[in-house]
Structure 1
Amino acid sequence: MKTQGNILIVDDDIDILETARMFLKQEFASVDIESQPEKIAGHFERKDYDVVLLDMNFKKGMNDGEEGFYWLNEILKMDHDASVILITAYGEVDLAVKAMKQGATDFVLKPWKNQKLLGTINSALKLRESRKEVERLKESQKSSPQQGGSFIDLIGNADALKRVKDLIRKVAVTAADVLILGENGTGKEVAARNIHHLSDRKDEVFIHVDLGAISETLFESELFGHVKGAFTDAKQDKPGRFEIAQKGTIFLDEIGNLSLPLQAKLLTVLQSRKVRRVGSNKDIDLDVRLICATNMPINDMVAEQTFRQDLLYRINTVEIRLPALRERKDDIPLLTEHFLKIFAYKYHKRNIKIADSTLTKLQTYPWPGNIRELQHAVERAVILSETDIINSVEPFISTPHRSSSIMNEEKTLDEMERDFILQTLERNNGNVTKTAKVLGLSRTALYRRMHKHGI
């Protein structure tokens, strides 16, 4: 089966054109040839080319590459994401390297070996697809608030939140690395997207990486990328998350979960601002805005030597601490009404309301899962409600794991541990320090168990 891709070959040597066309037609869906570079524009008007093979010299006796530079620039004007491979003689390698700095993707030497040519074109196709993927990501982020293109504000008027918003506005316009701290469900990702939206990178991509979901073995490949053949399953070149985030923002969520060896690898990249794909010896310069987040007591982890102090210094030029929901109880009615509008629309219950007395009662609950728990609670209440007025707190907070009869049900050890932690948090009004003391754990150990159970 032929590889999908449109290839254009531009060279004044008819023999080269025909030889290349005959070989490449066996491999690719569309191969066009052109001996007169002046006609390149006409080809681009008729077709979207994935790879262009471009000779560096067209006039006989010329070997300074000036024509190649000129037509390279013209192609990039027509399609700034074009993958252009230069066709050059051995003595013109320096010129080809110079052209790559001006936007060319790669070069091949005449006379070429067919398999080498094929490999170079396939790599250029992958690069083209990566560029298209970034463009699609940008467009989706512009059209979807949940993808980070539109502004999603931190909802609330509490003094603690106002201080956070003010700090976000100040830091967003700088290039400073930011560390966002806060319990699970406090809105760390929303805060990171706010910073991106208010920065001068707002029109570029926002890449969210959940470090807690990436295994140790895949860490380097996922973040830094890999080249074909770097390991058993590396069937093609793949850019990493850092590379995809070029010019934009990369958000490393749950950074406290990284093991010490992975912290060292990340630190090397952040210090040099260069990334190298697994299996490659080529460094790629990085231009990204770095935002990190964790729900873990990272300063305590430094003291316990489970998190590198030099990495902490690197990622927290500015530190933003998000308040727990119990610290801003006056915002609960506002947040509840916000989620109510969303889920009333989603579940076609547009006339549904929450009684004022119910809203007041919701403010007395500690919400150990913070805004995320409140969001799920409102969704559940809307689904279960059989009337247009929700006048009871039962649909919100009377879930199985809070019922006194829960211990009578058959549950796994993990489920019992999660329920016990939640119950102890509730008895201590969500205070993690007191809860840890009651459970006989360090705060760090409790945070780890909370993260494990999604609390």
Structure 2
Amino acid sequence: MGASDFVLKPWENEKMLTTIESAWKLSQSRREVKKLKLKEKQLIAEINRPAQDLIGSSVAWKQVIELVAKVAATNANVLITGENGTGKELIAREIHRLSPRTDKVMVTVDMGSITETLFESELFGHKKGAFTDAHTDRTGKIETAHEGTLFLDEIGNLPLPMQAKLLSVLQNRAITRVGENVPVSVDVRLICATNCNLLQMVANGRFREDLLYRINTIHIELPPLRNRRADISELASFFLKKYAEKYNKPGLSISEQTLQKLESYAWPGNVRELQHAIEKAVILSDTAVLQPSDFLFRSSDSAPDIHSNCTLEEMEQKLIAEAIAKCEGNMTLVASQLGITRQTLYNKIKRYGL
């Protein structure tokens, strides 16, 4: 450990005791710092574990994973969109894990859960006494993510006044803690996610267009599970193994008829719903093979109506995108199902940027 102080002879007993006490406190502080650094390393290692849930071999899912690998190597801001349960946070963590910032922390903020009154305190931090309940100094989420990744989940839920404050931080790359006047520079890689149609929100005046451009350097759209049915069997096997181990039910399997039922269901809750359905079936099943009767779905649960609140062009774009995913990139089959020629199909793909 080395020396921390010294005492001259002849010494005074009181001073000797004070010196020993100070040395002991310093030693304790060093141990505490060492523990905190170890915990930080363990936390980063846990965050950066390869995402085992990123399972799938369908064309639609492979395209997502390939795009993630390309984007991760850069510092570009990323916007991840998709329905609830499609795996937006998993994709965000995978981008961070594969990025040059992998040895730093990734900080997640649920924008929908932060009230407007606490927005600045949560994101920017505050000084002690800045407001009634500010009993101590607090580092904000953005500053905590310095040199790492900041993941803003449910960005579409952010009210307009807060959008302006967030835009200012992104433009200036600096935050000002509540109760202070000195800006603090921050270096973060920004990833945002939402299940909202931000373009429609911009058109309706509910989301700032300039903020959308800031967060949308790269856009990753996650396909719903109904558009990657080829992955359902693989996902079901993964979750079956996971929960069979968790609930001490070794040797469980899924019958072929059950797989057919799973693959024909619309899965409005996507992968998350499939995961919960498998867990429930594992818990309640009394046999070694999961049967169709172990999965009870409401007949009203069907794919969302893509025609609602859509223009004709938006409807056509969605139909083509879903057909491409369903046919796993077989353009001849896609054209046949849509009742158009391959050349017309290619012209529309180019037009819509699909």
Aligned-pair distance for 1:388?
0.8
Aligned-pair distance for 1:435?
5.8
SS of the residue corresponding to residue 349 of structure 1 reads: coil
Look up the match of 2:295. 396
Look up the match of 2:84. 184
Q: Structure 1: which amino acid aligns with 2:213?
A: Y
Aligned-pair distance for 1:203?
1.1
Is 1:246 aligned to residue 146 of structure 2?
yes
The CA distance in 1 between the partners of 2:208 and 2:59, in whole Å, is 33
The CA distance in 2 between the partners of 1:375 and 1:288, in whole Å, is 32
Q: Which has the higher contact order (CA 8 A, sep 6+)?
A: 2
SS of the residue corresponding to residue 47 of structure 1 reads: helix
Look up the match of 1:202. 102
Is 1:329 aligned to residue 229 of structure 2?
yes
The CA distance in 2 between the partners of 1:308 and 1:362, in whole Å, is 40
**Contact persistence 1:254–1:294 (CA under 8 A):** yes
**Contact persistence 2:48–2:96 (CA under 8 A):** no
1:308-347 maps to which residues of 2 (within 5 A)? 308-347=208-247
* Aligned residues with identical type, % of pairs: 50
The CA distance in 1 between the partners of 2:85 and 2:21, in whole Å, is 50
**Contact persistence 1:344–1:352 (CA under 8 A):** yes
The CA distance in 2 between the partners of 1:9 and 1:299, in whole Å, is 64
Q: What's the CA shift string for 1:368-388, capped at 9, x where partnerless? A: 000011111110000110111
The CA distance in 2 between the partners of 1:435 and 1:396, in whole Å, is 29
Aligned-pair distance for 1:31?
3.2
Is 1:47 aligned to residue 27 of structure 2?
yes
SS of the residue corresponding to residue 368 of structure 1 reads: coil
Task: After the TM superposition, list the runs of 4 or more consecutive aligned residues in structure 1 that deviate by more than 2 angstroms.
Answer: 29-32, 131-138, 394-398, 431-437
Look up the match of 1:4. none
The CA distance in 1 between the partners of 2:5 and 2:136, in whole Å, is 23
Q: What's the CA shift string for 1:332-364, capped at 9, x where partnerless? A: 111111111111111001111111210111111
State the aligned residue count: 300
Is 1:386 aligned to residue 259 of structure 2?
no
TM-score, normalised relative to structure 1: 0.61
Look up the match of 2:181. 281
SS of the residue corresponding to residue 232 of structure 1 reads: coil
Q: What's the CA shift string for 1:193-243, capped at 9, x where partnerless? A: 110011111111011111111122111111111110011111000101111
**Contact persistence 1:134–1:205 (CA under 8 A):** no
SS of the residue corresponding to residue 363 of structure 1 reads: helix
1:381 to 1:435, Cα distance in 2 relative to 1, 3 A:
farther
The CA distance in 2 between the partners of 1:30 and 1:243, in whole Å, is 35
Aligned-pair distance for 1:139?
1.4
Which consecutive residues of structure 1, in runs of 5 or more, have no partner in the other structure?
Answer: 1-7, 11-17, 33-42, 51-78, 80-127, 404-422, 438-442, 444-455
Q: Structure 2: which amino acid aligns with 1:343?
A: Y
The CA distance in 1 between the partners of 2:154 and 2:160, in whole Å, is 14
Is 1:152 aligned to residue 143 of structure 2?
no
Q: What's the CA shift string for 1:286-325, capped at 9, x where partnerless? A: 1111100000011110111100000000001110000000
SS of the residue corresponding to residue 165 of structure 1 reads: helix
Look up the match of 1:233. 133
SS of the residue corresponding to residue 228 of structure 2 reads: helix
SS of the residue corresponding to residue 220 of structure 1 reads: helix
TM-score, normalised relative to structure 2: 0.78
**Contact persistence 1:355–1:390 (CA under 8 A):** yes
1:306 to 1:133, Cα distance in 2 relative to 1, 3 A:
farther
Q: What's the CA shift string for 1:50-84, capped at 9, x where partnerless? A: 6xxxxxxxxxxxxxxxxxxxxxxxxxxxx9xxxxx
Pairing partner for 1:433 from 306, 311, 318: 306
SS of the residue corresponding to residue 49 of structure 2 reads: coil
Q: CA RMSD in A?
A: 2.9
SS of the residue corresponding to residue 290 of structure 1 reads: strand
Structure number with the higher strand fraction is 1
Q: What's the CA shift string for 1:225-267, capped at 9, x where partnerless? A: 1110011111000101111111111110000000000000111
SS of the residue corresponding to residue 207 of structure 1 reads: strand
The CA distance in 2 between the partners of 1:295 and 1:312, in whole Å, is 14
The CA distance in 1 between the partners of 2:21 and 2:303, in whole Å, is 63
Aligned-pair distance for 1:135?
5.9
**Contact persistence 2:239–2:275 (CA under 8 A):** yes
Is 1:139 aligned to residue 49 of structure 2?
no
SS of the residue corresponding to residue 152 of structure 1 reads: coil
Q: What's the CA shift string for 1:92-145, capped at 9, x where partnerless? A: xxxxxxxxxxxxxxxxxxxxxxxxxxxxxxxxxxxx98x976763441231x3x
Which consecutive residues of structure 2, in runs of 5 or more, have no partner in the other structure?
Answer: 7-13, 316-354
The CA distance in 2 between the partners of 1:212 and 1:132, in whole Å, is 33
Q: Structure 2: which amino acid aligns with 1:223?
A: L
The CA distance in 1 between the partners of 2:273 and 2:81, in whole Å, is 18
